[in-house]
Amino acid sequence: MTRRLPTITLLMLVFLSMKAQQTQIGSYAQVNGLKMYYEIHGKGNPLVLLHGGGSTIATTFGRILPELAKAHQVIAVELQAHGHTTDIDRPLSFEQDADDVAALLKQLSIKKASFMGFSNGGTTCLQIAIRHPDLVDKLIVASSNYKRGGLQPGFFEGMEQATLDNMPQPLKDAYYAINPDPKGLQAMFERDKARMLAFKDISDEQIKSIQVPVLVVNGDTDVIRTEHALELSRMLPHAQLAILPGGHGDYLGEICAPNKTSNMPVFFVALINDFLGK
């Protein structure tokens, strides 16, 4: 019996190692002065997920990430001042977020990946393709703008008046679950607000320079105008367009989506897998 103990112990260690690989793995990397949080799920070709403004991995992708991980190696990232990732003394910008993500992937020895970003994360995806084109296989740009005019009329006027009280409660709760310091939440809100108010159009020339396949997705009652999503898809040299029922993030089951039992996230995952599998 005693002779079998080392073998049994070895088998248990192998089992536990395999089990750990199947569950979410949260890690940190030092990136451009940030302590950046990321998770790796599943196996397959790399798919990087970038959350929306004021959000986390879980609040944006909680419903679809487990399904995506069945077909891809999902690398989900939390950007500066969001979720577990630290804040530092620099303003938020989509360009800097793009450089941070590129630096993270270099540390992870990932030379090429597909990227999906929702809302602000989608604008960051565009900047990754512009600034780091060799890193990109395919893009999925979900409910994102590349011009100020892409948002519904009155958006920027409302943003100028917005306070932390206007932030959806589920996003506040998710932040406090990770970081209970109210000063951190206020700082993140102010940084996101300042970035949006300072946003400058991405030029047509830069959009046209993106040569990889892109899936542009939008809700038919989104805060991003449907016409803007159409314009973006036509500007990109190799794009497809999907207009799905619902508002901002409804189709992917974002935490603020009103219908918690909608089957649209299931459809959206199938759409993603079909696009990435081509």
Do 245 and 267 form a contact (C-beta atoms < 8 A)? no
How many independent structural domains does the chain possess?
1
Examine residue 4 and state whether it is found in any structural domain, yes or no.
no
In this structure, what CATH number is given to the domain that contains residue 259? 3.40.50.1820
Please list, in sequence order, all residues whose beta carbon lies within 8 angstroms of the beta carbon of residue 28, skipping any fewer than 6 positions away.
35, 36, 37, 38, 84
Q: Report residue 67: phi and psi, to 5°.
A: -75, -40
The pLDDT value given to residue 22 = 43
Joined tokens for residue 149: 């005019």
Structure confidence by residue, pLDDT tens digits, 41-85 = 999 999 999 999 999 999 999 999 999 999 999 999 999 999 999
Examine residue 174 and state whether it is found in any structural domain, yes or no.
yes
Examine residue 188 and state whether it is found in any structural domain, yes or no.
yes
Q: Is the pLDDT of residue 18 over 50?
A: no
Q: Quick one: which of 153, 102, 135, 129 has its CA closest to 216?
A: 129
Examine residue 14 and state whether it is found in any structural domain, yes or no.
no
Examine residue 159 and state whether it is found in any structural domain, yes or no.
yes
Examine residue 11 and state whether it is found in any structural domain, yes or no.
no
Joined tokens for residue 258: 């009103």
Please list, in sequence order, all residues whose beta carbon lies within 8 angstroms of the beta carbon of residue 172, skipping any fewer than 6 positions away.
164, 185
The pLDDT value given to residue 25 = 76
The pLDDT value given to residue 102 = 99
Average pLDDT for 178-205: 96
Examine residue 30 and state whether it is found in any structural domain, yes or no.
yes
Domain range for 171 is 24-125+133-277
Joined tokens for residue 150: 């892409």
Examine residue 12 and state whether it is found in any structural domain, yes or no.
no
Do 60 and 5 form a contact (C-beta atoms < 8 A)? no
